[in-house]
Amino acid sequence: MTVMPRQSYDWTVDDLESLPDDGLQYELLDGLLLVSPAPIPVHQRAVRNLLLLLHSACPSHLEVFFAPLDWQPDDRTSLQPDLLVVAKDRIGPKRINANLALAVEVLSPSTRRKDMVLKRSKYEDVGVPSYWIVDPDAPSFVAYDLVDGAYVEVARADGDEGVDVASPFAVRVVPSGLI
């Protein structure tokens, strides 16, 4: 039985169990239900290629995952970063509750504002040390690190330009190579 529609800010992670498995992405941000359509091919290609890149460079104490996988830092938030990196000893049986080492969002027309504003703000507020945004339309890549509680841009690349990123581990990203 579906519990939608409901206009409120009182959704909890427990409410997600009753939502349909209908191909939509259901996320919670401070009790607000966010619904997005399934991603498009260029989005998935960028996610896949970045996953392969991160996986090949990832140190053994960390693990790279891809959406859909719930990251639930509190009872009113359940986000699904396109890619996430977390310490292996902090992985739960059904979801990730521990702080992430890295959250990555690949922009889509339907998620651009959510990824660049809402999710970025939550990642920053809870202390995710590194946040990356990939825009397959440009193509471009921006990396942020948390410094004194706020994200600071530490790397940027466009098109065929490559950039070396140090956090959470060393990797070289070429935006055009992701799409």
In the chain, domain spans: 39-178
Neighbours of 63 (CB within 10 A): 18
CATH architecture of 39-178: Alpha-Beta Complex (3.90)
Q: Give the pTM.
A: 0.89
**Structure confidence by residue, pLDDT tens digits, 70-129:** 999 999 999 999 999 999 999 988 889 999 999 999 999 888 999 999 999 999 999 999
Distance CA 143, CA 137 (A): 17
User: What is the gyration radius of the CA atoms in the chain, in angstroms?
Assistant: 16
Mean pLDDT check: name the lowest of 18-22, 39-43, 142-146, 164-168.
Answer: 18-22
